[in-house]
Amino acid sequence: MPWLLIVLAIVAAAVLVRIYLKLRDIRAATSREDWDAKQIALLRSRGSDPFQPHDVDFFFGLPSEGACESMRRQLEGEGFSVDVKPVPEGVDQVMSLHARKALRLSVPDMQELSRRFGELARTHGGRYDGWTAGIVPRGPER
């Protein structure tokens, strides 16, 4: 009988750990999505025209030149301009990849790009560090 209690305790602990990990992943995804929405709202509040394409810069940290080259080929195939630089003080991420593309800034589209880029970076052993864009002023009213 005591072995049954031990097995049940182990199963319960495993279930609790799994629930915790799922909640942590959901919270991380939500905070990234919130960040994208806040960035776009900030640009709009500063007078940026959401209907005009913005030069959007995306940043990645990668562990090797091979990972950078693989991501470079993929992103350039999608129309991004890409440059790569070594990060001498980097420990795990010794390469920095910067990608740029003119895009219209919509919250769902940027959230999807951030989600996809996070997965892409993890696939190559790296991390996605986010994006930034400059202000594109609104044109004259018609």
Tell me if 43 is assigned to some domain: yes
Largest CA distance in the chain: 81
The arithmetic mean of pLDDT across residues 14-39, rounded, is: 71
Mean pLDDT, rounded, for 46-59: 93
Instruction: Flag whether 138 is in a domain.
Output: no
Q: Is the pLDDT of residue 61 over 70?
A: yes
> Sign of dihedral through CA atoms 30, 33, 39, 41?
negative
| Total count of domains within the chain | 1
pLDDT at 142: 43
CATH number of the domain that 23 lies in?
Answer: 3.30.70.970
Share of the chain above pLDDT 70, in %: 87
Is there a domain that residue 139 lies in? no
Nearest-CA neighbor of 58 among 107, 124, 130, 139?
130
Q: Within a domain: residue 45?
A: yes
pLDDT computed for residue 133 by the predictor? 96
Q: What is the pTM of this model?
A: 0.74
Range of the domain at 61: 8-133
Over the stretch 97-114, which tens digit does the pLDDT of each residue have?
Answer: 999 999 999 999 999 999
**Two structure tokens written together for 30:** 């939500």
